[in-house]
Amino acid sequence: MKYSTVEERLSTFVGWPHRHTPYPLDLARAGFYYIGPGDRVRCAYCNGDLNNWSATDNPLKEHIRLLPLCPFLDGSYKPVKVSQESKSGWVQTKRDRLKSFIGWNGQVDPRQLAHAGFYYLGNSDRVQCFSCQTIFRDWVAGDDPWIEHSKWYPDCPYIQLCLGKEIVKEIRRNVLKNAPIDVVDCVH
Ligand SMILES: [Zn+2]
Ligand SMILES: [Zn+2]
């Protein structure tokens, strides 16, 4: 595939019109290469075009918002990228994670998923935890995101912070399988 690396995409930004953010590197990292005219860029994976960039735009966020079915946002969401993004903070709050659930039609309430640390990857019903970066999918009605998260990734720092280590252990032992979970109101 053409433009499959960040370097190749970055090399297209000759004559890029803006001096402000987002910078070509941010755009290239988010899957885009420069086609023009103006500030029009194209995603190497979904061929979607975006333009009219303003200084406050986050390319990855805009990609998720406007081109949610892009395969780049699914498979290529490798931990490296995510942790870079997480540092910038955009999925660390429940409200921001909830914003990612555009186009979601999975079986579980996005508010529950966002609360339990997940944001939507924009493809099928895949979500990823902002903290441990584990990807979950194939949700069925009645799933409790806190329980699934604890069962499959008990070492997640966010889960341990919100539920407490003891509760996570109990869930692992299946003791609390059918009992309601008392979640302390997590600040994140
Ligand atoms: Zn795309
Ligand atoms: Zn996690």
For residue 74, what pLDDT band results from cuts at 50, 70 and 90?
A: low
**How far is the centre of ligand 1, averaged over its atoms, from the C-alpha of 45 (Å)?**
5
Find which of 30-44, 119-133, 172-186 is predicted with most confidence, using mean pLDDT: 30-44
Q: Is 187 left (phi over 0), alpha (psi -120 to 50) or beta?
A: alpha
Ligand (nearest to CA of 159): 2
* pTM assigned to the model: 0.51
User: pLDDT exceeding 90 applies to what percent of the chain?
Assistant: 35
Name the CATH superfamily, with its identifier, for domain 77-172. Answer: Inhibitor Of Apoptosis Protein (2mihbC-IAP-1); Chain A (1.10.1170.10)
Domain ranges of the chain: 6-67, 77-172
Kindly report whether the peptide bond that precedes residue 154 is cis, defined as omega within 30 degrees of 0: no
Q: CA 107, CA 121: separation in Å to the nearest integer?
A: 15
Whose atoms come closest to the Cα of 155: which ligand?
A: 2
Cα(151) to centroid(ligand 1), Å = 32
Decide: 27 and 16 in contact? Cβ < 8 Å: no
* pLDDT, average across residues 53-70: 87
Separation of CA 132 and ligand 1 centre (Å): 24
84, exposed or middle or buried, with CB in 10 Å at 0-12, 13-18, 19+? exposed
Q: For residue 92, what are the contacts with CB-CB under 8 A and spacing of at least 6?
A: 86, 130, 188
Q: In this structure, how many other beta carbons lie within 10 angstroms of the beta carbon of residue 121?
A: 23
Reply yes or no on domain 6-67 having CATH 3.30.930.10: no
Return the ligand number nearest the Cα of 113: 2
